[in-house]
Amino acid sequence: MPKYYNAARNRATQKYIRENLEEVRFRVRKGERDKVKQEAQRCGQSLTQYLIQAVNERAGRQLLTPSGTEDGEET
């Protein structure tokens, strides 16, 4: 654990998640998650970033906002 971790930081993080984020879950066949994760790493992205980009490209517009951005524009 990072040395800056403490109970107050954990509460703040959990509050932010509760108030600002939603979770989307889906299932894939065994082994497929690792294949997608490896492809994401090959592209220099996290699994989440890779899936968000795939959804947005498939839609032809931005439906999902990448993490680390306020309005969807990279900073």
For residue 2, tell me if it sits in a domain. no
**Residue 54 clears pLDDT 60, i.e. is over it:** yes
For residue 18, tell me if it sits in a domain. yes
Which residue segment(s) compose the domain that 17 sits in? Answer: 7-59
Report, as an integer, the average pLDDT of 50-75.
82
Q: Report whether 67 contacts 49 (CB < 8 A).
A: yes
For residue 69, tell me if it sits in a domain. no
Per-residue pLDDT at 69: 67
| Residues in the chain, overall count | 75
Q: Band the pLDDT of 71: cuts 50, 70, 90.
A: low
Total structural domains within the chain: 1
For residue 31, tell me if it sits in a domain. yes
**Using alpha carbons only, what angle is made at residue 34 by residues 66 and 16, rounded to the nearest 5 degrees?**
35
36/38 Cα distance (integer angstroms): 5
**Residue 45 clears pLDDT 60, i.e. is over it:** yes
